[in-house]
Amino acid sequence: MEIEDIQNEIIDEFSMFEDWEERYQYMIDLGKDLPLINAQYKTDDNLISGCQSKVWVHADLVDNKIVFTADSDAIITKGIIAILIRAFSNQAPKDIIEANTAFIDDIGLKDHLSPTRANGLVSMIKQLKMYAIAYQTQLN
């Protein structure tokens, strides 16, 4: 499935909920299903800077597609990274680099995060795209 299709699926899922309490609960549930990072990758090198909570992300290139795993010490943050990984994992580096992230605005996430969490969200997106740039360079 292409990134845009996954993003539209996420938008549809979030639109089913009446209020942000339900959406937060859904994000927490998504975080529980997150493909967890192997303990050996929970290092300072894989920590995303700019996040209030600790968020570790690891990326592997498998069959020319990036597979992300992650973890966080905070349940909401874990849900946020789960949404991003769902949208970008198992995609070609070039597609991740070129992907639009407006779906975050479409689900209203930025409007319902504290300024520090919103900054963390931007840092997470930036880090996922940096992995994509690094792997794209290797493929060229």
Q: Which residues are catalytic?
A: 51
- Cβ-count burial 76-101 (b if 16+ within 10 Å, e if not): bbbbbbbbbbbbbbebbbebbbebeb
Rounded CA-CA distance 80/71 in Å is 10
Contacts of 137 (CB under 8 A, 6+ apart): none
Rounded CA-CA distance 102/4 in Å is 10
Q: Can you say how many angstroms the Cα of residue 101 is from the centroid of all Cα atoms in its chain?
A: 10
